[in-house]
A and B are shown apart, each in its own frame.
Chain A
Amino acid sequence: MNTPREQPGGVISRLMAELAKLPGIGPKSAERLTHHLLAARREEVLVLADALRALKEQIRRCELCCAPTEHVRCELCADTRRDPSIICVVEQPRDLTALQRAGGYRGRYHVLHGCLSPLDGIGPEHLTIDALLDRVRAGGVQEVIMATNPTTEGDGTALYLSSLLSPLGVRVTRLARGLPSGSVLEFANNQMLADALEGRRSF
């Protein structure tokens, strides 16, 4: 992985090693990208560096729904026209985006930032479950829609959440079975998502 003149741990090797950690980037691609950046104009590379820094320094989690935002509250939570009595729980911000794209839903969201995956060591403490329970305990919530992926782990996460939410006296529903089992929300089309939300059923 090292270029001939570079020592391991040098600036170039370090960038290659970092790039190679990204999904879908192997050592070969990391090397190619590094050489591309090495040859690119200074301003071009610094714009990329600034964007990367801003991503982590300026984006935080919405204090209510935990979606990424530049503000204390995200646009959706700040929008008073949205119904605060319904919360739609998704695994990832990209699932929220897919449901928003599908249109039709006028409630609020909650982003878990993952799903329970005991085999990978991901337990409740790694997700935003406490924040969700706090929202429900604060009152005013009537329905929580489980829009986790219809996969084994997504269903497991929904089962677990349901066991915590039901005793709080809130109605827990699940997306309709229109989505094929094992699929993921972010790749479903708008009509499928809209139908799944429309046809949701009690857990």
Chain B
Amino acid sequence: MATEKVKALVLRTTDWSETSRIATLFSRERGKLRGLAKGGRRLKSSFDNGLDLLTLCDMVLIRKTTGGLDLLTEAVVVRRFPRLHRELSALYAGYYVAELLADWTEELDPHPALFDEALEALEDLGDGSVGQRVLRFETRLLAELGYAPVIDWCSSCEGPLSAQALAFCAEAGGVLCPRCQAGPGERRRLSTEALGGMRALASEKWREPLADRVRAELRGVMGGIITHIRGKPPKLLPYLGG
């Protein structure tokens, strides 16, 4: 019953009783975790209002050894993301980040790089194109979880990609050259600019502004990839702008 300290992002909270709530958290050290916060809804409590969605908190918790929920005993906000409270598109993008992290990571499976990327994304949202920032987060998420799409050669024949008539196929896991586009599965025409955009988003040059048209095209491609891998579209997907 040793206590443990973690820095964690609040992904989700559910009221459990008059004063308690269950929180789903994402921490750098331990990955996703769920904990019961007794008294977590009171104004004056050891939670210092620290269980608000999309805030980064210093948490103290007692790990349950026999399964079940950890017990959260303290939470202090160390960082808020004020732009999320000023722009609706940024807030919805923030919810989307939280949804992907909560649904797509496992408890006791830490992803420090993903944690850092999530914080950076939340900090950036609302500054510049929300749509492009979300695409960068999704690109990093897919790479970190081992689902990076094949964009440097044909995902079917592994041949080189020429500049023309490319398609993207989520089932195939990447781009298809013109010779490999027959067959089952949904194919989406992919412009060379969009392919360039995907490569840029996976590189250090991801901040270079994409044209609106390219961003909209990539929004569709990325939604398709994530929906295919998860087997269902994320709840927040319809809320995302281009």
Chain B contacts for A180, CB-based, 8 A: 43, 49
A183: interface (CB < 8 Å) = yes
> Among residues 123 to 180 in chain A, which have CB atoms less than 8 Å away from a CB atom of chain B?
151-153, 155-156, 159-160, 163, 180
A181: interface (CB < 8 Å) = yes
A118: interface (CB < 8 Å) = yes
A188: interface (CB < 8 Å) = yes
Chain B contacts for A181, CB-based, 8 A: 49, 52, 77, 80
Chain A contacts for B17, CB-based, 8 A: 23-24
B133: interface (CB < 8 Å) = no
Chain B contacts for A188, CB-based, 8 A: 43
Q: How far is the CB of B89 from chain A (nearest CB, A)?
A: 10
Is there contact, CB below 8 Å, between B15 and A23?
A: yes
Q: How far is the CB of B94 from chain A (nearest CB, A)?
A: 8
Is there contact, CB below 8 Å, between B239 and A156?
A: no
Contact status of A159 and B80, CB under 8 A, knowing A119-B235, A151-B53:
no
Q: How many residues of B contact A (CB 8 A)?
A: 33
A-facing mask of B51-72, CB < 8 A → 1, else 0?
A: 1111100000000000000000
Is there contact, CB below 8 Å, between A151 and B88?
A: no
- CB < 8 Å: which of A24, A118, A184 contacts B92? A118
Chain B contacts for A163, CB-based, 8 A: 88
Contact status of A159 and B95, CB under 8 A, knowing A151-B52, A182-B55:
no
- Cα(A49)–Cα(B99), bound, Å: 40
Is there contact, CB below 8 Å, between A187 and B85?
A: no
Contact status of A24 and B43, CB under 8 A, knowing A119-B12, A121-B235, A159-B91:
no
B104: interface (CB < 8 Å) = no
- Cα(A23)–Cα(B16), bound, Å: 6
> Among residues 51 to 95 in chain A, which have CB atoms less than 8 Å away from a CB atom of chain B?
none
Chain B contacts for A182, CB-based, 8 A: 49-52, 55, 77
- CB < 8 Å: which of A24, A151, A159 contacts B20? A24
Chain A contacts for B204, CB-based, 8 A: none
Interchain residue pairs with CB less than 8 A apart (15)? A24-B18, A118-B95, A118-B236, A119-B98, A151-B52, A152-B52, A152-B91, A155-B91, A159-B91, A180-B43, A180-B49, A181-B77, A184-B41, A184-B43, A188-B43
The 3 closest A-B pairs by CB, nearest first: A24-B17, A182-B49, A182-B52
Taking A119-B99, A180-B49 as known contacts, 20 extra A-B pairs with beta carbons closer than 8 A to each other, sorted by chain A number, are: A23-B18, A24-B17, A24-B20, A118-B92, A118-B236, A118-B239, A119-B12, A119-B95, A152-B52, A152-B85, A156-B88, A156-B91, A159-B85, A159-B88, A160-B88, A181-B80, A182-B50, A187-B41, A187-B42, A187-B44
